[in-house]
């Protein structure tokens, strides 16, 4: 089970939605808001369907106002909800798969597809080189701009990201996703064909929200604080220990945990917000992270949509104060984030839900691969160190692309067990 029993571990496979709703925030009707749109797209909640939900980062413009100065990508919607009358679940990618859903015709179609799926034909087009839309000098200028804002008292922290792009046909998404998962197994990963020529392939390790309608229990697992993996067990252990002992990373992490506590406090029973784990070590094949588990109990008048939008966009990928940080991000990054740092989630018909934060995420739009890599900037951040962190976070993608090119890539570092006194969040999530 996932945190607090709110969402099952394992994998979900769904196809042939009976309904798909797509939104661009600019198209919201007068008097309509994002919450109302989401509730309408998710209704009715008791018809036995599994709902897949995607909120792009810029869907946050429907919740809060900040200056719209960044360039927009016209190919990407701001929100998508799809309803699946049948789906498959399994503990692992090899199965065995369990057929779910009430619609017998949809179940039979999915079962027949699983039994008769044709052999996969790998793509023949090799990925192009991965290039950054923001060079090192521009990234330094962006970090220094945020540091100026911190010194002026406008904000305490902001997450600055840069976009990486490569030529890669969208049809390569399943193979790219498989390669990404081999490089960095993701507890909250997702692969989703949104439209012809538009795919989402996420290897996210971060949980924005788990929800259980029966118990009213909420969990969020913010990630903040990163070190690369070492080249051998000794250096790997040193890097992990240095992360755990770093005053800078601890301060940065606690700041975001406080922001998440405040966000949950807007929808929680007074006194129910608790930090179950603070700054636990989570070790992935290419990086170490600090992760916390923040828990709350939702008030009786709060539904899933209210809880989700109270947290969205996640504090770990915006900053503090959140709106000031988002305005600064808009100014220094120059491009709208699109799906990056938004959220993908599944809503089960029994009232459980789990949503990630879309980091370590690829968008394949026609023949373009888009990927963003970023990090949190605080008062004592070093621009050179911050640039290197974005490099570390893109390493798994580089290795995955090399795999598609047929080139050998370095083996991921051996796993290092987190200290028992500093556990990370429970692993396990689904894919759609």
Q: How far is CA 293 from the centre of its chain?
A: 16
Domains in the chain, ordered, with CATH? 3-115+128-405 (3.60.120.10)
C-alpha–C-alpha distance, residues 81 and 37, integer Å: 10
C-alpha–C-alpha distance, residues 239 and 221, integer Å: 22
Model confidence pLDDT, tens digit, residues 18-36 = 999 999 988 887 767 999 9
Quote the strand ranges of 109-206, DSSP E: 131-132, 157-167, 190-195, 198-202
User: What's the confidence (pLDDT) of residue 10?
Assistant: 81
User: What's the confidence (pLDDT) of residue 166?
Assistant: 98
Maximal CA-CA distance, the chain = 63
User: What's the confidence (pLDDT) of residue 67?
Assistant: 64
Closest CA to 83 of 139, 25, 14: 14
C-alpha–C-alpha distance, residues 240 and 234, integer Å: 10
Closest CA to 53 of 311, 353, 345, 429: 345
Count CA atoms within 13 Å of residue 232 on its CB side.
1
C-alpha–C-alpha distance, residues 351 and 370, integer Å: 33
Cβ-contact 267, 298 below 8 angstroms: yes
Tokens 């890097």 map to which residue?
A: 239
Please tell me whether residue 291 adopts helix, strand or coil conformation: strand
Q: What does the pLDDT average to over 115-131? A: 84
Q: Which two tokens stand for residue 10?
A: 């394992």
Q: Is 372 exposed, middle or buried (0-12, 13-18, 19+ CB in 10 A)?
A: buried
**pLDDT, the chain, mean:** 89
For the chain, the residue count is 432
Report, as residue numbers or ranges, the catalytic residues: 206, 224
Q: How far is CA 251 from the centre of its chain?
A: 23
Tokens 């701001």 map to which residue?
A: 78
3-state secondary structure 249-274: HHHHHHHHHHHHHHHHHCCECCCCCE
C-alpha–C-alpha distance, residues 210 and 5, integer Å: 9
Query: Does 415 score more than 50 pLDDT?
Result: no
Q: What does the pLDDT average to over 70-91? A: 88
Query: Does 8 score more than 70 pLDDT?
Result: no
C-alpha–C-alpha distance, residues 306 and 432, integer Å: 23
Measured in Å, how far apart are the chain's first and last C-alpha atoms? Answer: 17
C-alpha–C-alpha distance, residues 234 and 218, integer Å: 38
C-alpha–C-alpha distance, residues 416 and 54, integer Å: 33
Model confidence pLDDT, tens digit, residues 309-335 = 999 999 999 999 999 999 999 999 999
User: Which one has a higher pLDDT value, 285 or 427?
Assistant: 285
Q: What does the pLDDT average to over 45-55? A: 92
Give 3's pLDDT tier (boundaries 50, 70, 90).
Answer: very low
For the chain, percent helix, then strand, then coil, each to nearest 5? 35, 30, 40
Query: Does 429 score more than 70 pLDDT?
Result: no
Q: What does the pLDDT average to over 375-392? A: 96
Cβ-contact 322, 312 below 8 angstroms: no
Q: Which two tokens stand for residue 267?
A: 């929808």
Please tell me whether residue 355 adopts helix, strand or coil conformation: strand
Q: Which two tokens stand for residue 256?
A: 């975001």
Give the DSSP per-residue string, 304-327.
HHHHHHHHPSPGGGSEESHHHHHH
Model confidence pLDDT, tens digit, residues 333-369 = 999 999 999 999 999 999 999 999 999 999 999 999 9
Q: What does the pLDDT average to over 119-130? A: 85
Cβ-contact 71, 336 below 8 angstroms: yes
Tokens 């051996």 map to which residue?
A: 414
Tokens 């600064």 map to which residue?
A: 328
Please tell me whether residue 381 adopts helix, strand or coil conformation: coil
């Amino acid at each position: 089970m996932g945190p607090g029993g709110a969402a099952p571990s394992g994998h979900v496979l769904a196809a042939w939605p009976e309904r798909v709703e797509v939104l661009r925030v600019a198209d919201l009707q007068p008097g309509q808001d994002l919450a109302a749109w989401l509730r309408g797209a998710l209704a009715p909640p008791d018809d036995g369907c599994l709902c897949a939900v995607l909120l792009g980062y810029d869907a946050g413009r429907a919740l809060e106002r900040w200056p719209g100065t960044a360039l927009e990508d016209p190919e990407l919607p701001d929100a998508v909800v799809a309803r699946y009358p049948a789906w498959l679940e399994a503990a692992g990618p090899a199965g065995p798969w369990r057929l779910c859903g009430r619609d017998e015709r949809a179940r039979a179609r999915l079962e027949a597809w699983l039994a008769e799926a044709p052999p996969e034909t790998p793509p023949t087009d090799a990925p192009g080189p991965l290039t950054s839309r923001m060079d090192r000098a521009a990234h330094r200028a962006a970090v220094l701009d945020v540091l100026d804002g911190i010194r002026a008292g406008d904000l305490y922290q902001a997450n600055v990201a840069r976009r990486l792009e490569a030529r890669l046909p969208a049809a390569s998404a399943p193979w790219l996703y498989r390669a990404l998962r081999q490089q960095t197994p993701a507890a909250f990963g997702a692969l989703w064909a949104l439209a012809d020529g538009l795919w989402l392939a996420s290897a996210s390790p971060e949980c924005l929200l788990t929800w259980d309608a029966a118990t009213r229990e909420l969990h969020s697992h913010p990630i903040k604080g990163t070190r690369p993996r070492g080249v051998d067990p000794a250096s790997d252990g040193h890097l992990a220990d240095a992360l755990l002992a770093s005053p800078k990373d601890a301060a940065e992490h606690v700041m975001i945990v406080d922001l998440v506590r405040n966000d949950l406090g807007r929808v929680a029973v007074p006194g129910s917000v608790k930090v179950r784990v603070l700054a636990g070590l989570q070790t992935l094949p290419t990086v170490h992270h600090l992760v916390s588990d923040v828990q709350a109990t939702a008030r009786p008048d709060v539904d899933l949509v209210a809880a989700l939008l109270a947290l969205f966009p996640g504090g770990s990928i915006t900053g503090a104060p959140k709106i000031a940080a988002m305005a600064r991000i808009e100014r220094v990054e120059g491009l709208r984030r699109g799906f990056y740092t938004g959220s993908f989630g599944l809503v089960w018909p029994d009232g459980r839900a789990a949503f990630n934060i879309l980091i370590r995420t690829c968008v394949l739009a026609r023949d373009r691969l888009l990927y963003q890599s970023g990090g949190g900037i605080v008062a004592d951040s070093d621009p050179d160190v911050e640039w290197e962190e974005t490099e570390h976070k893109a390493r798994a993608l580089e290795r995955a692309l090399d795999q598609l090119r047929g080139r050998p890539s370095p083996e991921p570092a051996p796993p290092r067990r987190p200290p028992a006194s500093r556990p990370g969040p429970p692993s396990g999530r689904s894919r759609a």
